[in-house]
Amino acid sequence: MKQELIKISNLKVLGGDGVYRSSDGLLITKDQKIIELYFDDESFLKCTFDHKIKTPDGWKTAKELQIYDNVLGCGDKHITLLHKEISKQKQDVYDLINVETTHSYVANNVQISNCIVLDEYAYVPNGVAEEFFSSVYPTISSGKNTKAILISTPKGLNHFYKTWTNAQNGKNGYVPIEAKWYDVPGRDDKFKQQTIANTSEAQWRTEFECDFVGSENTLIAPSKIANMIFGVPQTSTPEGLDIYEPPQKNHIYAMCIDTSRGEEQDYHAMSIIDCTKMPYRQVAKFKNNTISYQVIPHHIKKLGDMYNEALALFEINDLGQAVAEILHEELEYGNILSVSNRGKRGQKADGGFGSGKVQMGVRMSYQIKKMGCSLLKDMVENDKLIIQDFDTISEFSTFVARGAGYEANEGYNDDLVSTLVLFGWLTTQSYFKDYTNSDVRQRIYEEQIRKIEEQVMPFGFFNDGVGADDDNIDIFDDRNEKQRRADDMELWKD
């Protein structure tokens, strides 16, 4: 679905009360199925099936209107519907938005309401959806009769998923309504099996089961992603900072940083993790693709200072080294983690006190990413790392197996996940274990062993009498003696 918002200054439209009122402009929706309505005063109206039309009994959709129903025209004059038919061709429709006071207007002598229907909303790119909705939301929120209807099959954990989840939890004004394949008459298990055979299991789950996480190849198990609960930031800034938990005195924080060129392509991304105790917690995130790499060090220093001079770990594959040097030399930030590059023996976070070439961060290699992904998966799935940010959870849903490793699906980015991959690798380093006095892998291993032991049924015991106490032996022998005497007596009788 393609929509276009055209703002028109000094636009006046006829309200239902016969008074001309101001409107902000036109919303054009492309290629819609429409219905044609014909009235007894020779009025004629084309609109979508769900568009609201005013009747003496209140608002009804065009689809709900029956032949000979009365609707209201200009000045509440009654006119009668004589004929309706569905157009054979899709057409563009036009809706006046934000009509002053009444939020309704007269079109071809029929009173209609502001109503926005966004079809396949999940397939609108994130940035476009947010910008569009910001433009039209004043129309929706300011009128009693204005409506917004979002219709879509799922497509990952994007803006539509966020709206849907918040509606289910009562955190917004939307009413969640779900329709699955078996709600359609005539569809049975045979239909399901045939559809899967013609498409795929993943496509079936998305298109028919309304499964937001359709891929099976995500780093984090789809079932875990679907149950991850995102929080509401306590503080958000236009630059892209979301704070979920403010800094606390004597807490230990790590700040993992993936920088970019700031040219509206890849993002500067930072995740701040509270490492004081397990489970570790993501307490803040920063994501921005417009700030220059020469300016981003100032934002990093401000955040690092705020979070008790957090331990900063950079990915230095692109401009990370330059950003780290500006932060260290010009801004004098003192808690940047140095890494020793030992050639074939790999990289080790040791604060620059080990052997090998010292660098201000880690160069992301296949081995580093593999180790980081493995630990990240274990921590998230075993609830040793709590993710609170919606954008990060969204990236998990598209961070999938590609070749021998993991990366974002085409058309998506994984900058925030990359910062957590860095953190996963960091937790394997002795420097981090000493810095935080914790060992993630050991804790996960010990808990897994404990769970296995709890699931194993205890063995029973069989006593064969060997090693019994003296009293038992006496009883045993005494019984044998009585039996022997009885047998002898029977022989004597014979």
- Active site members: 120
Place of tokens 């006593």: 463
Q: What is the DSSP letter of 398?
A: T
d(CA 56, CA 43): 18
Closest by CA to 29, choosing from 11, 46, 10, 54, is: 46
Instruction: Give the dihedral sign, CA 227/126/150/243.
Output: positive
Helix axes 415-426, 366-381, angle to 10 degrees: 90
d(CA 259, CA 395): 17
Give the DSSP H/E element, type plus range, for residue 162: helix 159-168
**Contacts of 464 by beta carbon, 8 Å cutoff, 6+ apart:** none
Q: What is the DSSP letter of 329?
A: I
Q: Following DSSP, what letter does each residue of 281-326 receive, concatenated? A: EEEEEEEESSS-TTTHHHHHHHHHHHTTSPEEEEE-SSSHHHHHHI
73-79-81 Cα angle (round to 5): 120
Closest by CA to 306, choosing from 234, 240, 246, is: 246
Q: What is the DSSP letter of 362?
A: B
d(CA 179, CA 210): 8
Strand partners, 97: 25
Grouping H, G, I as helix, E, B as strand and the rest as coil, residue 70 is strand
d(CA 64, CA 53): 10
User: Are 391 and 416 a contacting pair, CB within 8 Å?
Assistant: yes
d(CA 295, CA 278): 34
User: Are 3 and 30 a contacting pair, CB within 8 Å?
Assistant: yes
d(CA 185, CA 248): 57
